[in-house]
Structure 1
Amino acid sequence: MKLTGFEPSKSHTPQWRDWSWQAHPLVWAYPAALLVTAAPLGARGLSIQTARLLCWLSALGLQVFLCPRRPLLFEADDPSSRMRVWPLGLWHDGYLSNLWRLSEDGSPRIFRPVLGNVVVVIITAVILGVSSVQMTWNPFAAAGPWNLDGQEILPWSGLWWLGQIGHAHWILALAAIVPAMPLAGGLGLAMLLDRIQWRDQDARRVRRIISWASIAFLGLLGTMLVANERMAGYCVILVALVLAIEARKQARRDATEEFIENFVLGVIDEEDFEAGLERLDKPGATLRSKARTWLRNQRIRRSAEAVKAAELRRVQNEERLDRVLTRIHESGYASISRSDRWFLKRIAREYRERRDDHIS
């Protein structure tokens, strides 16, 4: 069963003011490594690293421009679905957020920042190649770019700026495909599991296993880079740590959603539901309030659907009754089928019950 219709609280906070420190690890991890490595190089090294930092920030600015402004979850025009912009993808801030349940036109927009990075990298590589300059494809090496004889391009030149920007976009493109929430790779994996119609519990388990495997791989890779005295290893370890925090938060959201599903299905009663909310969220107030709001919206929607279904049945019964009476008038009672006879008896019984209720 998939929960639908949950609406987080409305917020008018601009997207770029709603970032938390977990939501943009490379915004501060990579610049911090640049400035640390610039310390022993003196004023010239600091100025070069500052220029690289500006290239990095320009690459991040393009991510904000490429990310869609409208929400992807629930209804496309629902203003209450608030998206948090990542440098590497999209993140939905709210309890019970089903990240993999996207609107039909939202699926390709998940990868819009990633594709934007790849396009910038290709254009940069083509321009550098035409100029007989090699772009740096190793994300853990110096940004370059380099001449054909292996010498680094003179800093502050146009090709140098172009190579730095292309290298920054290349790092973002590679990092975004990591299959861990809330990166674009994790969203794509969740969307794939939903498309092949896996059971919710199995899909959650697979996403959790792949996310933690990716985090473990990043941690091991960062440790190996640090052992080889590469400063990029510290960035990789920091990213793995932040993704581990987000994976833990996603696991709590999955547990909360599964718990409420059990309550809706009647597996647990209301008393156990309240006790479970206390265990899932010790402060409890925010989660209980949002859960009650979601349940109230569920009841309202189900009531409206029941009214529509009853009205539809009434119209269908009237149309069928007209057809049966017309056939009786034309060919007699013996010409109608057994199911139509039972239908007439049921309609007559319902009419008598309504008449008796009206008289009483």
Structure 2
Amino acid sequence: MEHLINKKVKHIEISGIRKFFNMVADTKDMVSLTIGQPDFPTPDHVKEAGKRAIDENFTSYTHNAGDLRLRKAACSFVKKKYQLTYNPESEVIVTSGASEAIDITLRTILEEDSEVILPGPVYPGYEPIVTLCGAKPVYADITKNQFRMTAEVIERYINNKTRCIVLPYPSNPTGVSLTKKELEDIAQLVRGREIFILADEIYSELAFDQAHTSIATILKEQTIVINGLSKSHSMTGWRIGLLFAPETIAKHILKVHQYNVTCASSLSQMAALEALTIGIDDAIPMKQEYMHRREYVYDRLKNMGLEVVKPDGAFYFFVKMPSVNMNSFDFALALVEKSGVAVVPGSAFSSYGEGYFRISFAYSMDLLKDGLDRIESYIQSI
């Protein structure tokens, strides 16, 4: 019966991040620096809120868009943090993680043969959805621009089929963000055109060197903002994402969301309510620790003679491979086999990631030291 499977599904692949992680997961005595999973536990008070929701039998469906209390809290959160103004009644949707928010957004705005401009390299979660929608992913090469997705870069790829530009910042896999001036230039380029901006701002609370600016403060009418609790509050498994958009856009995305999951987990919504109110600044101590780790990893990589752009946020380094006669997948596999350390091959992030590898520093200092010692040992041996 496999021959009856949707051809578009047949032609997409499991994420290269997960594929490589799963391949080497059973390797003994391995240090893994692969997954973007915060090593902090969910804050205790947030966990307690989830437990209370169970005890109070808050186990039924909520409004499709999410419990109104949570939507109000989400709007207050982004207002205080990023000066964004949205109506909690009609311009925010609580989703099953940011991944679902991306999925329902693209399924709402894309049609056959429309094009989506993506930075290359980029997180691999966008292209398969674009493809399943019958649209075409168009990668903008940012490797020669310090991984910055600027208006100058984007303009080269815009045509009359362009329907959406994806702006993930701070970025996975590079950690690079965008300045307010760069966002203003992008807004000026796109304003008035029939093009959506999908601003994936899931790492907004982990912006290190400058305050995070949402492009929705500049071009709200064309922007759909994706955010959530996974990275800011170490709540990956709770699966709570947040989608903000003008009502004229959000009301249509809500229809796709309704038929997709009905509503996000009611229990997780109550934990998220606690996180966005009592825990509004829970990300700050985590961010400070990530910044400390960033400095350590950056110094170690530079001392190895590796070429790397210092990340502005998130918890990744996208590192240029040393001069070896192998592709990024084989290089990452050799690191596992020879030194017992796992990184993600750059090819997992599109063809523009070839020649690089990604390190996650969402790990303890002890693990980072051990992993970097092993990488250094391997590089010295080749």
- Normalised to the residue count of structure 2, the TM-score between the two structures is 0.26
Q: Which has the higher contact order (CA 8 A, sep 6+)?
A: 2
- Normalised to the residue count of structure 1, the TM-score between the two structures is 0.28
| Structure with greater proportional helix content | 1
| Structure with greater proportional strand content | 2
Q: Which has the larger radius of gyration?
A: 1
